[in-house]
């Protein structure tokens, strides 16, 4: 059995242990965080699976139509690689083109904005527009104003329209022809249109002057044809269109060095209603879009690129975006509704990964579509809405992206970021999730703190100190007991000896 002294020693040791451990235990309790959700599997590293060359097939993708673009059709559209914009002008509104527009819009990096030049061409629909690399401006010719064909010439440069007064004759008023650049002779070429009945002269433009060419052979009369610069074949490529004699046409002609040459295709020609064509520097070919798919002209033949085209295929325009490298189609009619503006882009999708650090969960929405943390989505060049939400018990921190991606958290709080991501190649969007403390802020006596010790810490320290002093006093005042003395030996011999 333990004596009184042993019990006192053990009691004092216990008090001293409490004194030594009181602060640490309380502090640890105060710092307890929300427990992490169970991690069923490691968060995959999206960069490990990303390959910028993994997807080579170009695809069509719809873009959101920005607020303010008027619902018109039959507008002009051209690329401006110097100002790095797509330029859209004019169009007509109403079910039967009851009024014309003379608004100018430009697009760059997927963002559209309206311009308000001091001088603009008169309102019209069906204006012919194309980039003139020699004179370094967008050239506009003709169109139609309330049923009256026009033949005026305008130049658009640095956000400004200027009327061009040709030094010689101008092509006759016409609507529905086509305009393209011919790299072989460094001239703009105009052909076709509704004014041509039995013979369509070819017109070229350079340095503010139009020139008429009477050539043989030449394509049949037509309007609504597709016509585009063709650097690969050193000329301008013409496809299809419509005339009252033959109806829908599907022939192909190359204009080069002031001569028309019919193309003897090595494969059957596609039959495309309301065709659109544009030179795509990214692919190095002329791309043709229409009612039965998307095609490229290569090796002397048309090759199918995609079996589909944008939903809006009527009265549309096609142009190359120099900032994103994507062909953009602006449609004036969709699903039989005219006018009804829609936007679509044709180009290679890029794999954009979503990296989540610090938490295996979180919500990523790109254009309203969910992407799993650690996963990726295929996006064409352009600007997309991005929303990131942290899981319960977590906060967001350090949103970033590796070039060529750019992120902008335009509206952020502790748990959600809403912004945009600009895509011009493959890469990752990265965000850190941090856990938050579970204990509420202390109030009342619990809020008292001295030297980092809470009220409870201080109370335990005081109790321990008092107990230690009591133990010391009790032990120090305890009287000593004399040792037991043995009785002296008498010297008597025990019996039996």
Give 326's strand partners.
321
* Angstrom distance (rounded) from CA 326 to CA 395: 37
Nearest Cα residue to 181 out of 246, 150, 136: 136
Where in 348-464 does DSSP place strands (E)?
350-357, 363-366, 369-371, 376-379, 382-389, 394-401, 406-412, 416-423, 427-435, 449-450, 453-454
Q: Which CATH number fits domain 59-347: 1.10.10.60, 2.120.10.80, 3.40.50.150, 3.40.50.11140?
A: 2.120.10.80
Q: Is 68 left (phi over 0), alpha (psi -120 to 50) or beta?
A: left
Q: How many CA atoms lie within 13 A of 427 on its CB side?
A: 16
Q: May I ask the CATH class of domain 350-435?
A: mainly beta
What does the CA dihedral 134, 138, 144, 145 come to, rounded to 10 degrees? -130
Tens digit of pLDDT per residue, the chain (497 long)? 545 555 444 455 544 444 444 444 433 332 222 222 222 222 233 333 333 323 447 888 888 888 888 889 999 999 999 999 999 999 998 878 888 899 999 999 888 999 999 999 999 999 999 999 999 999 999 999 988 999 999 999 999 999 999 999 999 987 789 999 999 999 999 999 876 767 789 999 999 999 999 999 999 999 999 999 999 999 999 999 998 888 999 999 999 999 999 999 888 888 888 899 999 998 999 999 988 899 999 989 999 998 888 866 578 999 999 998 899 999 988 777 888 888 999 988 889 999 999 876 789 999 899 999 999 998 888 889 999 999 888 998 888 998 888 898 877 778 899 999 988 888 999 999 888 865 555 666 656 666 556 667 777 778 878 877 777 776 776 555 555 555 555 555 555 54
Please list, in sequence order, all residues whose beta carbon lies within 8 angstroms of the beta carbon of residue 174, skipping any fewer than 6 positions away: 142, 149, 151, 192, 193, 194, 195, 196
Separation between Cα atoms, residue 440 and residue 305, nearest integer Å? 61
Half-sphere exposure of 99 (CA within 13 A, CB side): 7
The H-assigned helical ranges of 165-283 are none
- Beta strand extents in 257-403 (DSSP E only): 259-262, 276-280, 285-290, 293-298, 301-306, 314-321, 326-333, 342-347, 350-357, 363-366, 369-371, 376-379, 382-389, 394-401
CB 140 within 8 A of CB 159: no
Cβ atoms of 411 and 435 within 8 Å: the answer is: no
- Looking at the chain, how many residues does it have? 497
Q: How far is CA 135 from CA 51, 139, 154, 186, 226, in A?
A: 40, 9, 12, 10, 23
Task: Return the ∠ at Cα 414 (arms to 411 and 420), rounded to 5°.
Answer: 30
């Amino acid at each position: 059995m333990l004596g009184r002294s042993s019990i006192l020693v053990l009691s004092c040791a216990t008090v001293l242990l409490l004194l030594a451990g009181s602060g640490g235990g309380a502090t640890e309790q105060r710092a307890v965080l929300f427990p992490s959700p169970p991690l069923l599997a490691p968060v995959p590293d999206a960069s490990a699976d990303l390959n910028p060359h993994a997807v080579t097939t170009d695809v069509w993708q719809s873009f959101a139509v920005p607020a303010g673009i008027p619902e018109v059709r039959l507008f002009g559209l051209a690329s401006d690689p110097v100002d790095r914009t797509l330029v859209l002008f004019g169009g007509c509104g109403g079910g039967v083109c009851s009024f014309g527009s003379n608004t100018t819009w430009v697009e760059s990096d997927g963002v559209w904005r309206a311009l308000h030049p001091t001088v603009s061409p008169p309102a019209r629909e069906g204006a012919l527009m194309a980039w003139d690399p020699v004179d370094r401006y967008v050239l506009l010719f003709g169109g139609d104003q309330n049923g009256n064909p026009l033949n005026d010439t305008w130049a658009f440069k640095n956000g400004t329209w200027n009327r061009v007064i040709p030094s010689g004759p101008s092509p006759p008023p016409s609507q529905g022809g086509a305009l393209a650049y011919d790299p072989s002779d460094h001239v703009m070429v105009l052909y076709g249109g509704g004014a041509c009945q039995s013979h369509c002269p070819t017109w070229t433009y350079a340095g503010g002057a139009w020139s008429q060419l009477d050539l043989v052979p030449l394509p049949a009369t037509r309007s609504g044809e597709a016509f585009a610069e063709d650097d690969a074949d050193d000329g301008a490529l013409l496809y299809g269109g419509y005339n009252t004699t033959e109806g829908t046409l599907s022939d192909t002609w190359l204009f080069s060095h002031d001569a028309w040459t019919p193309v003897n295709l090595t494969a059957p020609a596609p039959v495309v209603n309301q065709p659109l064509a544009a030179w795509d520097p990214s692919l190095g070919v002329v791309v043709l879009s229409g009612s039965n798919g998307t095609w490229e002209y290569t090796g002397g033949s048309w090759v199918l690129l995609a079996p589909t085209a944008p939903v809006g295929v009527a009265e549309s325009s096609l142009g190359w975006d120099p900032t994103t490298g994507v062909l953009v189609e602006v449609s004036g009619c969709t699903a039989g509704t005219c006018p009804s503006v829609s936007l679509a882009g044709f180009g290679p999708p890029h794999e954009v990964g979503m990296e989540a650090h610090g938490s295996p969960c979180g919500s990523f929405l790109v254009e309203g579509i969910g992407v799993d943390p650690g996963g990726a989505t295929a996006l064409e060049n352009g600007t997309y809405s991005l929303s990131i939400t942290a899981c319960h018990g977590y906060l967001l921190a350090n949103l970033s992206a590796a070039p060529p991606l750019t992120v902008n958290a335009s509206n952020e709080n502790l748990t959600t970021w809403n912004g945009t991501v600009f895509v011009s190649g493959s890469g990752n969007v990265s965000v850190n999730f941090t856990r938050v403390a579970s204990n509420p802020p202390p109030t009342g006596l619990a809020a008292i703190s001295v030297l980092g010790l809470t009220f409870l810490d201080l109370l335990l320290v005081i109790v321990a100190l008092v107990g230690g002093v009591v133990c010391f006093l009790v032990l120090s005042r305890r009287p000593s007991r004399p040792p037991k003395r043995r009785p002296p030996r008498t010297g008597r011999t025990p019996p039996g000896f």
